[in-house]
Amino acid sequence: MPHHPGQLPTLHHHFASALPEMSVAYTPRSAEGAELGVFNEKLAEDLGLDPDWLRTPDGLGFLTGTRLHPAAQPVAQGYSGHQFGGFSPRLGDGRAVLLGELHTPAGQTVDIHLKGSGPTPFSRGGDGYAALGPMLREYLVSEAMHALGVPTTRALAVIRTGAQIVRPNTTDPDKAGVFEHQQGAILVRVAGSHLRVGSVQYARLLQTEQNTGPLARLLGVARERHYPHLPQGDYLGLYRAVCQGQAELVAQWMRLGFVHGVLNTDNTTLSGETIDYGPCAFLDRLDPDTWFSSVDTHGRYAYRNQPSIIMWNLARLAEAMLPLVDVEAIGAELEGFPAVYRRAWLAHMGRTLGLSAHLQADPATRDVATALIDELPGTLHAAELDMHHFYRDLAYRDLAAGTVEAPTPQLRDWIARWGDLRPDRAAMAEVNPLIIPRNHVLNAALGNAEAGDMGPYLRLLDAVTHPFRDSADVRELDRPAHPDAAKTTTYCGT
């Protein structure tokens, strides 16, 4: 049912009721100086929430968790996680709170979740708050990913809290990493759920041989939320579905040159949604050994490693599920992941290059198309071209006139063989965006926003959430960084 203005929206507490062992009751801190910074009116409407009411004091109280329906039971969620390969048995929501689940007019159930709302029992010495810049970053990149068709958590609002907190600078290259006072903010995040591989690991730790309740109940919640077509108790089918969703997700990341940056098991969802955008960034040139995160000292989560890291995380999920599944059966599903990922990668790159029909054609044509897809990353890397502009040029420029930039003989040969297949260039135009959030452009916009000028940020937000709409703004905002510019370094500010 749509929300009626004047009434507090009803938030359910399915997770808290089903998994009290993984929930800690929590009331968000008051935010007397709170004001809306950025607001996603279209998402509010899709959720059945009245946008005008959300702008009122009562609505702002709802968005900050300080004015909820009496039946609401906000909680901090517990979970474990392998972080850069090392296991942490108790992580959890250190600066976040699940306000509850909302039933939308479309019949979906989504989490309404806050980041930066204050310390919780899982804060591990942190203050529980968040700075404006990182919250604006997650808002913009998650909404850009949604516009590109990538499964992702969504952003409903960024709220300025009026507080000052101490954080390292993440936007000014001359002050990067320097601690300073920054504006506090809360991100209102919407997700299919916040169930993670780390959630399953935590449930596994809570159970005993006599009581498998937490693990079975958590997997039951995951099935009901995300894979209701599966029979109750089909844990192997659930694992297979999670593997398929993650294969599809990372294939889309790789197609778009997206580097997540912190692919710990607590940032790998059971829903197949992208979550936690702290140190993420996009490639300009297709260099497979690129990573951006300041805390990833050895490149564990570099671009080329993302498929294998997701498989590693899925192996940890399989281990956590072993009390409820046959070890050989789930091992076979895990061993099949590379093939599942490859099918997803070929399908997404086939659409990128206008070769979808060729991948379904006779064996000889299929083999040529597959070889072209497999050759392209290395060929583009050697040519040192911007990957996004190259894909667009293939879709829009006159091949016969030689207007597609191709500085190496290998790339010229690749373009000739690709053109011989007569690819579907109209279909390419539908999937190759005219703009992505360029790292240097986003950092400049965030720096302006932190200084009080939201204009450049809102301009960029409008462009990246309409990535197939051409304009002078788009052409200006999508310029790659200068080849000699220092590589962007990102921080886990979210």
From 93, 266, 284, 287, the catalytic residue: 266
| Distances in whole angstroms, Cα of residue 324 to Cα of each of 49, 236, 489 | 39, 9, 42
Show binding-site residues for Mg(2+).
267, 276
Place of tokens 């190496």: 408
Which residues 6+ apart lie within 8 Å of 228 measured at CB?
none
Distance, in Å, from the CA atom of 376 to the CA atom of 360, rounded to the nearest integer, reads 19
3-state secondary structure of 88: strand
Show binding-site residues.
92, 94-95, 115, 127-128, 189, 196, 267, 276
Annotation marks residue 266 as catalytic = yes
Q: Name the DSSP letter for residue 96.
A: E
Which uninterrupted H or E stretch holds 241?
Answer: helix 235-256
3-state secondary structure of 44: helix
Question: 315 with 269: CB under 8 angstroms?
Answer: no
Q: Name the DSSP letter for residue 386.
A: B
CB atoms within 10 A of CB 289: 10
User: In the sheet where 96-103 sits, what is the strand order?
Assistant: 23-25, 75-77, 96-103, 109-115, 179-191, 154-168, 35-39
Distance, in Å, from the CA atom of 412 to the CA atom of 375, rounded to the nearest integer, reads 13
Q: Name the DSSP letter for residue 298.
A: T
Show binding-site residues for ATP.
92, 94-95, 115, 127-128, 189, 196, 276
Instruction: Return the bridge partners of 188, or none.
Output: 114, 157
At residue 347, φ and ψ (nearest 5 deg) are: -65, -45
Which residues 6+ apart lie within 8 Å of 335 measured at CB?
none
Number of H helices, E strands in the chain: 19, 11
Distance, in Å, from the CA atom of 247 to the CA atom of 345, rounded to the nearest integer, reads 8
Question: 440 with 394: CB under 8 angstroms?
Answer: no
At residue 168, φ and ψ (nearest 5 deg) are: -70, 145
Please name the amino acid found at residue 119. Answer: P
- Helix ranges, 47-176 (H): 51-54, 57-63, 132-147
Distance, in Å, from the CA atom of 435 to the CA atom of 392, rounded to the nearest integer, reads 10
Q: Which residues are catalytic?
A: 266
